Amino acid sequence: MNTIIERTISFVKETLEGAEAGHDWFHIERVYKNAQHLNETEKGDELIVALAALLHDIADPKFNDGDEEIGPRIAGDFLNSLGLEPGLISHVQEIIKNLSYKASLGEINFQSRELDIVQDADRLDAIGAIGIARAFTYGGYKNRVLYDPEISPNLHMSKEEYKNSSTPTLNHFYEKLLKLKDLMKTESGRKIAIQRHDFMLLYLDHFYQEWQGKI
């Protein structure tokens, strides 16, 4: 099992060389650690959790003409080259396919404890102090304003609107980040999410006060 994981780590590091900061190796490492931490309580299959966490962002559809199949395909080819059994490989592929926030806005067609664990681990990295940093990194990459008091958040975006929105970064907190706490699937994930959520509320409170020159 250790060599499988070591080889997967090397493959992911090589493949993500030069990836943008929101989905670089450090994001994968954090999700991998979060997933292992959750799995201590949640007791999913360790190898599946580890492989899915490590391979979950191997190719982002956003940067590949919206191709939703490319990540699972690359992951599948790699796991095949390690000679792993087909059942395990397709489980990891299903997790990758169903992991994205966009997928969760559509119909759910696959469920497993390991999917819940890796999805929660990925969502934890989108909230709290790190989530805030990632949101502003993304906003900077897209050249978005930090905040615009004239533009209110759109709380009920469809999949299409979400993909195409050019929202001020602060609106993204209401459009996605503050919703994640209630979407957590595991009990241990929810506990951590609540702390990170509260920190984001505190952050927003300071942000508005500073915006008005109050503190």
By CB under 6 A, name the binding residues for ligand ADP. Answer: 22-23, 57, 100-101, 122, 126, 131, 134-135, 138-139, 167, 169, 172, 176-177
Structure-token pair, residue 180: 């994640």
Question: Which stretch in 86-94, 115-123, 164-172, 193-201 sits in contact with Ni ion by CB under 5 A?
Answer: 115-123
With CB under 5 to 8 Å by kind, the binding choice for 139 among Ni ion, ligand ADP, none is: ligand ADP
With CB under 5 to 8 Å by kind, the binding choice for 128 among Ni ion, ligand ADP, none is: none
With CB under 5 to 8 Å by kind, the binding choice for 93 among Ni ion, ligand ADP, none is: none
* 122: contact with Ni ion by CB under 5 A: yes
Can you tell me which of 57, 94, 114, 116 binds Ni ion, judged by CB under 5 A? 57
Contact predicate 89/47, CB 8 Å? no
* 120: contact with Ni ion by CB under 5 A: no
**Helices 25-42 and 187-211, axial angle in degrees (round to 10):** 130
Question: Which stretch in 43-51, 67-75, 121-129, 165-173 sits in contact with Ni ion by CB under 5 A?
Answer: 121-129
Give the torsion sign (CA, 178, 182, 186, 187).
positive
- CB closer to ligand ADP out of 84 and 147: 147
With CB under 5 to 8 Å by kind, the binding choice for 101 among Ni ion, ligand ADP, none is: ligand ADP
Residues that bind Ni ion (CB under 5 A): 57, 122
